[in-house]
């Protein structure tokens, strides 16, 4: 089996990475950063998000697993003390896989150009500096004109991240859907928005069209890029999914409890 190990870059994570590679050297495992079949991420959820973006072109061929060298994460759920145990489980192939939905973001520009991005957590859109005003359409039917700081579209697993901070609902990753939440919408006697998170099923799409400004700061997970001359931004539940290796039972709601409730 081909594998790769990514690290957050701090001393603790780097040392654990070398230690795990040493463990794997004792078995019939091939270190291959170009075409791995399993990627072990050492650091936190942010490190695994980075690994996802590095290998998103191989989603049908790669499985991810995360070790946290800081706080427990939703994606990085193994402890450093369990590294050797994890290696044995990988070598013996004693694991199942769990598939999580992803978000597809299509950005169209003037001149009929477009770019497509995938996100594991969420995509956000904000103005490049001026007022943020966009027309929101669901399944190509106009829904509202949004005025405010911005919008966030999240995957089910990403609802525990920025979406939660915006007051969105938490969704189980087995639900193939996406959730749109508002950032400080303007609601008064003149301007109105729905003022509530929207959960949309897989067969629905959301399109955002600029009203005035055509330059937007758009993020895909931890990656934020200024896009100019934007004509339209479309969100869909992606056809692709990300695969996580599961070696033991660790229910999603248990992760939620441990991350936000348990002291």
Active site residue 45: yes
Residue 34: exposure state from Cβ atoms within 10 A (0-12, 13-18, ≥19)? exposed
**Per this entry, what is the length of the chain?**
263
* CA-to-CA dists, residue 212 to 108, 114, 132, 148, 226, angstroms: 16, 20, 8, 13, 16
- What is the predicted pLDDT for the residue at 263? 60
Show pLDDT as tens, one digit a residue, over the chain (263 residues). Answer: 999 999 999 999 999 999 999 999 999 899 999 999 999 999 999 999 999 999 999 999 999 999 999 877 889 989 999 999 999 999 998 889 999 999 999 999 998 899 999 999 999 999 988 889 999 999 999 999 999 999 999 999 999 999 999 999 999 999 999 999 999 999 898 899 999 999 999 999 999 999 988 999 999 999 999 999 999 999 999 999 999 999 888 889 998 998 888 76
Q: How many other C-beta atoms can be found within 10 angstroms of the C-beta atom of residue 261?
A: 7
Which sign does the torsion angle of CA 248, 249, 253, 258 carry?
A: negative
- What is the predicted pLDDT for the residue at 28? 83
- What is the predicted pLDDT for the residue at 213? 87
User: Which of helix, strand or coil describes residue 12?
Assistant: helix
Q: Which of 10, 28, 32, 45 is catalytic?
A: 45
Cα–Cα distance between 164 and 211 in angstroms, integer? 28
Q: Write the CB contacts of 26 (distance below 8 Å, at least 6 apart in sequence).
A: none
- What is the predicted pLDDT for the residue at 181? 98
Domains recognised in the chain with CATH numbers: 2-95+247-261 (3.40.50.10330), 102-239 (2.60.200.30)
- What is the predicted pLDDT for the residue at 70? 85
Of 68, 77, 33, 26, which Cα lies nearest the Cα of 51? Answer: 33
Per-residue DSSP letter, 185: -
Of 104, 57, 110, 63, which Cα lies nearest the Cα of 86? Answer: 63
| Run of H or E residues at 143 | strand 141-148
Q: Write the CB contacts of 261 (distance below 8 Å, at least 6 apart in sequence).
A: none
Binding residues for NAD(+): 45-46, 121-122, 147, 149, 184
Q: Are 193 and 144 in contact (CB under 8 A)?
A: yes
Cα–Cα distance between 156 and 174 in angstroms, integer? 8
Binding residues: 45-46, 121-122, 147, 149, 184
> Against a cut of 0.85, is the pTM above it?
yes
Written as six digits, the tokens of 92 are 């013996």
Distance of CA 149 to the CA centre of its chain: 21
Which sign does the torsion angle of CA 71, 60, 158, 246 carry?
A: negative
């Amino acid at each position: 089996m081909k594998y790769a190990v990514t690290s957050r870059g701090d001393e603790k994570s780097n040392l654990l990475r070398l230690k795990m590679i040493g463990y794997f050297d004792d078995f019939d495992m091939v270190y291959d950063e170009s075409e791995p079949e399993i990627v072990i991420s050492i650091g936190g959820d942010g490190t695994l998000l980075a690994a996802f973006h590095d290998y998103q072109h191989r989603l049908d061929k790669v499985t991810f697993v995360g070790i946290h060298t800081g706080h427990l994460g939703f994606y990085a759920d193994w402890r450093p003390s369990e590294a050797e145990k994890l290696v044995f489980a990988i070598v013996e192939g004693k694991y199942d896989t769990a598939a999580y939905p992803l978000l597809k973001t299509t950005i169209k520009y003037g001149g009929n150009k477009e770019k497509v991005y995938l996100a594991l957590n969420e995509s956000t859109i904000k103005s490049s500096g001026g007022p943020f005003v966009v027309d929101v359409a669901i399944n190509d039917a106009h829904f509202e004109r949004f005025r405010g700081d911005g919008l966030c579209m999240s995957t089910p697993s990403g609802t525990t991240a920025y979406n939660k901070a915006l007051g969105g609902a938490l969704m189980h990753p087995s639900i193939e859907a996406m959730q749109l939440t508002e950032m400080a919408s303007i609601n008064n006697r003149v301007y109105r928005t729905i003022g509530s998170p929207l959960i949309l099923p897989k067969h629905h799409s959301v399109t955002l069209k600029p009203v005035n400004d055509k330059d937007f700061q758009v993020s895909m997970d931890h990656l934020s890029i200024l896009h100019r001359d934007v004509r339209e931004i479309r969100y869909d539940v992606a056809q692709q999914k990300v695969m996580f290796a599961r070696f033991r039972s660790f229910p999603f709601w248990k992760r939620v409890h441990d991350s936000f409730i348990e002291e």
